Amino acid sequence: MIEKLASLLVLVPVLPLLAAAAIAVTKRPHRQRASTLAIGAMGLSCLIAVSAFLAIAGAPEERLVRNFDWLHIGNTTIQLGWMLDPLSAAMAAMVSFVGLLIFIFSKGYMAHDENYTRFFGFLALFGAAMLGLVIANSLLLLFICWELVGLASYLLIGFWFHKPEAAAAAKKAFITTRVGDMGLLLGMVWLHAATGTLTFYTEGGEGCLQAGALDSLGAAGLTARLIAPATLIALLLFCGAAGKSGQVPLHVWLPDAMEGPTPVSALIHAATMVAAGVFLMARVFPLLEVGAAMHGESHSVVTPALTVITWVGAFTALFAAFIAVAQNDIKRILAYSTVSQLGYMFLGLGAGGVAVGMFHLLTHAFFKALLFLGAGSVIHGCHEEQDIRYMGGVRRWMPVTFATYAVGMMALSGVPLFFSGFWSKDEILHAAHGWPVSHIPFLMGSLGAVLTAFYMTRQVCYVFFGPQRSREGADHGKAAHPHESPRVMTMPLVILATFAVGLGIFGTPAWPWAQSFLEGEHAHLAFGHLFSGEVLAVMGTSLVCVAFGIGAGWWFYGRQPISSAARPDALEERFTPVFVALKNRLYVDELYEATVIRFNALAARFFDVVDRWILGGAVAVIGYLVVGFAWIGRFLEDHGVNAGFDLGCRGIRRGAGAGAALQDGRVHNYLRALGIGFATLLLLMTWGCH
Amino acid sequence: MAPLHQYLLLSALLFGIGLAGVLTRRNGLITLMGIELMLNAANLNFIAFWRHSPNPEAIEGVLLTMFAIGVAAAEVAVGLALVIAIYRRYRSVNLDEVDQLKG
């Protein structure tokens, strides 16, 4: 059964791919067919992925690989393939399930868009690429899908390309992630050079993540007392992961990516694609662990690569949480929140291993997709208004959206016990607490948790409470107040909210099923763990953080209803300089504008000058030389060859004219010539005989 | 019987008169007459040489001359027809005006 499912797993990405191809040739008016194809293909994929997940849930130590030869180049054979293991099954199930819900939501959200067919085509393409990415058993296949999801992300961010901001955001996303992907590509090439294969696992143990290859990678540097190649390769791969997952300093594209349609933000820029970086790190975790020094009782492994990942994650988690506090666009707040949560995932992965990071990834996917779809529902209900200052009081008109959004908000903030976000974030803080290198990431994570609770409370107060504050001069006749979204949009919200709550029970310290599953072990129920001192201490800390964050949020924004959109922000009144700096996103974009982009522009101008004047000059000189030679050739031709030829022709013509003149048509002249000739002949014969 | 050289001289005289007529006169008819004279000079030569040949009983000399006269008659018919055609086209028999075949 499980063998058969492992073979069938290839259909999971192939079905949406076929759907994308079919939609690509579907005409624009056939809207229904396009969405049905996409949703149907995703539904089938979801079915297969969930069956595979359930099958392997019973045997988490299994890893089934299906490899095939793709290319033969000289003596090198390049294999591609897919695999069924807990990590890929969990990801495939999550991606296809969340994707399916978001596809359904899009049917309502995009109902009035004229490019509905194109939208579903791109969505299906994205689904195919993302599912291919998660089941890939080869770094090369993973990379191909990685770039394809980047492409789909580019196409979907720029879906409304007639808006200049959307077109610019799409380019920014594509180029920024490309910076990271350069590292990924280099790491991949190096890995291939060092191990001779890019296949992760093979049945014969020759894969690049299996013992043989890893030993050689670790050993090469240790003997020379240098950094092991494994570390450098891992860091290069992490560059790609940081670009895709919006880690500082490559986070700038993710908030701008919110220019795309909201379901896209939910699917690509919250739940799935941005988490691909974390997934990549989880997938190559054996590589990150090479040369680990075990530290006493804690099960943390510490390597240079993991240390870097932990620090980058912790810094990003805090940095983005700060910026999120001062944003006014409902989607931008969530975008910075996503950056911050991805930082948490890296922090968890670096400090606590695959399971810790991945569990947060899975829970985050559900509640962040929920929040984004909720935001989409609010935007839809408020007639495309995105600025939270102009919303207010939406709770009264959109009860379902409000209820589900509140669930998502509490899950993200980490409200204890009943919400999945609490358990997964707690797990990360626990891992950070036990990290032997430093306690600072733990403090950063805790402060980030306070800020997370704070900015989510602020957002909810602005959007759902207080009086309605619509824009001055808005069209009041058309719609006086917001309206609830149709069922096709609220139903996915409800399902996602259920998961945002329910997933938590699979990851409590008492029964860490998800963690064990991801580590390839069976879980054991042990309530004792829940009450061990360290766990309680960390849980207490996070409880205090959340309570403090929500309390502060309520104090600033909820206590007195926000009466008018023009009123400055409660924090802005008290801490103006800080708030302005945060509102301007700590000037990172401006910094890049002034450094990297200016440098790039200067370099471009320099090379333009080189190209135009030096290379172009050389080309022009060669061109002129050729033209000169051609001119000389033409001159010779005109005045030498042609003139000679013309002279010959003229001579022939003149001779012919003279000959023709002899033939003057007068019969007497002919006769005269005949007579003279005859006489001459006669004379010759008369005297010539003697 | 007169000696041969007298015949030949007469024949040469006739030929010369004919040739002179052909070369000097512009009129197509007179040119034709000159040609007839030259032909008849040749005929006279044939007859003279036949009479002074070793066997004058043979018929060849007369026969050849009869042929030449027949051919000359045909030639004159053609020539006169040409002259008439030229006259119809050019309203003239002056051969110097008929030079359309010049190169």
CA distance B57 to chain A (A): 32
Query: Scanning every residue of chain B, which has its alpha carbon at the shortest distance from the alpha carbon of A664?
Result: B102
What is the rounded CA–CA span in Å between residue A449 and residue A422? Answer: 10
What is the rounded CA–CA span in Å between residue B101 and residue B98? Answer: 8
Determine contact, residues A292/A302, Cβ cutoff 8 Å: yes
Determine contact, residues A507/A417, Cβ cutoff 8 Å: no
Q: List the structure tokens of B12.
A: 């040469």
What is the rounded CA–CA span in Å between residue A372 and residue A618? Answer: 56
Q: What is the pLDDT of residue A219?
A: 65
Q: Could you tell me which residues of chain B have a Cβ less than 8 Å from any Cβ in chain A? A: 19, 22-23, 26, 31, 95-96, 98-103
What is the rounded CA–CA span in Å between residue A427 and residue A348? Answer: 8
Closest CA to A463 of A550, A561, A373: A561
A223 in B contact zone (CB under 8 Å): no
CA distance B16 to chain A (A): 11
What is the rounded CA–CA span in Å between residue A520 and residue A45? Answer: 24
Q: Point out the residue among A664, A672, A675 whose CB comes nearest to the CB of B102.
A: A664
Residues of chain A contacting residue B96, judged by C-beta atoms under 8 Å apart:
666, 668
In Å, the largest CA–CA distance within chain B is 53
Residues of chain A contacting residue B19, judged by C-beta atoms under 8 Å apart:
675
Q: What φ, ψ does residue A71 adopt, rounded to 5°?
A: -140, 145
Q: What is the pTM of this model?
A: 0.76
Q: What is the pLDDT of residue A224?
A: 47
Alpha-carbon dihedral sign for residues A576, A577, A578, A582: positive
What is the rounded CA–CA span in Å between residue A103 and residue A285? Answer: 32
Q: What is the pLDDT of residue A488?
A: 86
Query: Scanning every residue of chain B, which has its alpha carbon at the shortest distance from the alpha carbon of A666?
Result: B99
Query: CB burial class (10 A; 0-12, 13-18, 19+) of residue A551?
Result: middle
Q: What is the pLDDT of residue A690?
A: 61
Which residues have a Cβ under 8 Å from the Cβ of A123 and sit 6 or more positions away?
Answer: A38, A103, A106, A156, A263, A264, A267
Q: What is the pLDDT of residue A223?
A: 46
Q: Point out the residue among B23, B26, B103 whose CB comes nearest to the CB of A660.
A: B103
CA distance A662 to chain B (A): 7
Q: Residue range B60-89: average pLDDT?
A: 90
* The residue to which tokens 């002179």 are assigned: B20
Give Cα separations from A551 to A360, A395, A547 (angstroms): 24, 20, 6
Q: What is the pLDDT of residue A477?
A: 46
Per-10-residue mean pLDDT for chain A, 690 residues long? 88 94 90 92 94 88 88 86 91 93 91 90 94 93 94 93 92 91 92 88 85 75 62 91 90 90 89 91 88 54 87 93 90 93 93 88 92 91 84 85 92 85 88 87 92 92 84 54 84 91 80 79 72 80 89 86 76 80 82 86 92 91 95 90 90 90 81 87 83
Q: What φ, ψ does residue A302 adopt, rounded to 5°?
A: -125, 120
Q: What is the pLDDT of residue A133?
A: 94
Query: Scanning every residue of chain B, which has its alpha carbon at the shortest distance from the alpha carbon of A673?
Result: B23
Q: Point out the residue among B96, B99, B103 whose CB comes nearest to the CB of A659.
A: B103
CA distance A648 to chain B (A): 21
CA distance B70 to chain A (A): 23
The DSSP 8-state label assigned to residue A593 in this structure reads I
Q: List the structure tokens of A656.
A: 């012919």
Q: Point out the residue among B26, B101, B103 whose CB comes nearest to the CB of A662.
A: B103
What is the rounded CA–CA span in Å between residue A354 and residue A288? Answer: 11
Residues of chain B contacting residue A675, judged by C-beta atoms under 8 Å apart:
19, 22-23
What is the rounded CA–CA span in Å between residue A293 and residue A316? Answer: 26
Count how many Cα atoms sit within 13 Å of the Cα of residue A87 in the half-sphere of its side chain: 25
> Which of residues 603 through 662 in chain A touch B, CB cutoff 8 A?
659-662
Q: Looking at domain B4-90, does it have CATH number 3.20.20.140?
A: no
Determine contact, residues A284/A234, Cβ cutoff 8 Å: yes
Q: Point out the residue among A659, A660, A666 whose CB comes nearest to the CB of B99.
A: A666
Which residues have a Cβ under 8 Å from the Cβ of B61 and sit 6 or more positions away?
Answer: B46, B47, B49, B50, B51, B53
* Beta-carbon separation of A665 and B101 below 8 A: yes
Q: What's the one-letter identity of residue B55?
A: N
Give Cα separations from A225 to A219, A234, B78 (angstroms): 10, 18, 126
CA distance A644 to chain B (A): 27
Identify the bridge partners of residue A329 per DSSP, sorted by sequence position: A387
Instruction: Return the SS3 of B56.
Output: coil
Determine contact, residues A46/A96, Cβ cutoff 8 Å: yes
Determine contact, residues A63/A201, Cβ cutoff 8 Å: yes
Q: List the structure tokens of A524.
A: 């054991």
What is the rounded CA–CA span in Å between residue A489 and residue A472? Answer: 29
Q: Point out the residue among B19, B95, B103 whose CB comes nearest to the CB of A667.
A: B95
Q: What's the one-letter identity of residue A31?
A: R
Residues of chain B contacting residue A660, judged by C-beta atoms under 8 Å apart:
102-103
Count how many Cα atoms sit within 13 Å of the Cα of residue A340 in the half-sphere of its side chain: 30
Q: What is the pLDDT of residue B58?
A: 82
Closest CA to A381 of A452, A482, A292, A295: A482
Q: List the structure tokens of A312.
A: 């980058």
What is the rounded CA–CA span in Å between residue A246 and residue A184? Answer: 15
Determine contact, residues B93/B49, Cβ cutoff 8 Å: no
What is the rounded CA–CA span in Å between residue A403 and residue A408? Answer: 9
Query: CB burial class (10 A; 0-12, 13-18, 19+) of residue A406?
Result: middle
Q: What's the one-letter identity of residue A585?
A: R
Query: Scanning every residue of chain A, which has its alpha carbon at the shortest distance from the alpha carbon of B26?
Result: A668
Residues of chain A contacting residue B100, judged by C-beta atoms under 8 Å apart:
665
* The residue to which tokens 């999971």 are assigned: A12
The DSSP 8-state label assigned to residue A556 in this structure reads I
**Mutate which of A667, A670, A686 to disrupt the B interface (most B C-beta within 10 Å)?**
A667
DSSP secondary structure letters along A413-431: HT-TTTSHHHHHHHHHHHH
Cβ neighbours around B1 below 10 Å, total: 7
* Beta-carbon separation of A665 and B23 below 8 A: no
Q: What is the pLDDT of residue A83?
A: 92
* Beta-carbon separation of A667 and B98 below 8 A: yes
Domain map (residue ranges) of chain B = 4-90
What is the rounded CA–CA span in Å between residue B56 and residue B41? Answer: 20
DSSP secondary structure letters along A462-490: HHHSSS--PPTT--TTT-SS--PPPHHHH
DSSP secondary structure letters along A477-526: TT-SS--PPPHHHHHHHHHHHHHHHHGGGGSBTTB-HHHHHHTT------
Torsion, Cα of A208, A209, A210, A213 (10° steps) = 40
CA distance A684 to chain B (A): 18
Cβ neighbours around A674 below 10 Å, total: 13
Determine contact, residues A520/A89, Cβ cutoff 8 Å: no
Determine contact, residues A438/A313, Cβ cutoff 8 Å: no
* Beta-carbon separation of A671 and B22 below 8 A: yes
Query: Which tens digit of pLDDT belongs to each residue from A619-666?
Result: 999 999 999 999 999 999 888 888 889 899 999 999 988 888 888 878
A73 in B contact zone (CB under 8 Å): no
What is the rounded CA–CA span in Å between residue A291 and residue A219? Answer: 8
Which residues have a Cβ under 8 Å from the Cβ of A631 and sit 6 or more positions away?
Answer: none
Query: CB burial class (10 A; 0-12, 13-18, 19+) of residue A488?
Result: middle
* The residue to which tokens 């001459």 are assigned: A680
ipTM above 0.85, yes or no: no
Q: List the structure tokens of A134.
A: 């998660």
Distance from the Cα of residue A410 to its chain's centroid: 27
What is the rounded CA–CA span in Å between residue A596 and residue A241? Answer: 20
Residues of chain A contacting residue B34, judged by C-beta atoms under 8 Å apart:
none
Query: What's the whole-number average pLDDT of chain B?
Result: 88
Q: Supply the angle between the helices B28-51 and A667-688 in degrees, to the nearest 10.
A: 30
Q: Point out the residue among B19, B26, B99 whose CB comes nearest to the CB of A675.
A: B19
Query: Which tens digit of pLDDT belongs to each residue from B13-32?
Result: 999 999 888 888 888 889 89
Cα angle: B86, vertex B88, B93; to 5 degrees: 45
Instruction: Return the SS3 of A294.
Output: strand
The DSSP 8-state label assigned to residue B54 in this structure reads S
A664 in B contact zone (CB under 8 Å): yes
Q: List the structure tokens of B53.
A: 């040949």
Determine contact, residues A256/A169, Cβ cutoff 8 Å: yes
Distance from the Cα of residue A545 to its chain's centroid: 32
Q: What is the pLDDT of residue A135?
A: 93
CA distance B98 to chain A (A): 6
